[in-house]
Amino acid sequence: MNATRPQPITSASPPPTPLYRQPGILVTSEAFVVAGRRFPVRDLSNLRTARGPHDRLTMRSVLVTGAVLGSVGIAMSFSGATLSPTVFLLLGAAAFVPIALVSFRHRMRPRAYELWGDYRGMTVLLFSSDEEREYGQVTRALLRAQEVYRMGGMASPPLVNVYPW
């Protein structure tokens, strides 16, 4: 009679539970993976939020508009000619159109939300998104991952998956 031997029980830990998963982004209790970069949660500290810079084209448009209107005003003041109210109205319209376009562009391309943190002694940009909701979800998942790491791991699935009824 051939009896099979019992297999020894190994203490292999189960794979980490994903706290957030979207294409290109994965947050687990052990690591934060974004755009192919992997950051172990234990090495992340001092997480903070910032807003990215304004859109470069928008800022350049504001500077060019200001410079052009300023130079036109200076040139007209040196001309010595008396200006009619129609000319002032046309200058106001000329100033309004670029300003309106810049404000429209600013609304279409808002400043990015950025998550910065200290990683192995260096301050690095961990994550950046134009969408406030996605940014909030990733940030909360990373904070949960840090809490789980500090508590020594998760023995059960996260509470968000447990239905009390």
Domain positions in the chain: 18-53+113-153, 56-108
Token pair listed for 84: 């009619």
Which is nearest to 98 in space by CA: 72, 63, 139, 148?
A: 63
Residue 150: pLDDT over 90: no
Write down the pLDDT at residue 12.
56
State in words which class domain 18-53+113-153 has.
Answer: mainly beta
pLDDT over 60 (residue 9): no
E strands in the chain: 18-22, 25-28, 31-34, 37-40, 44-51, 113-119, 122-129
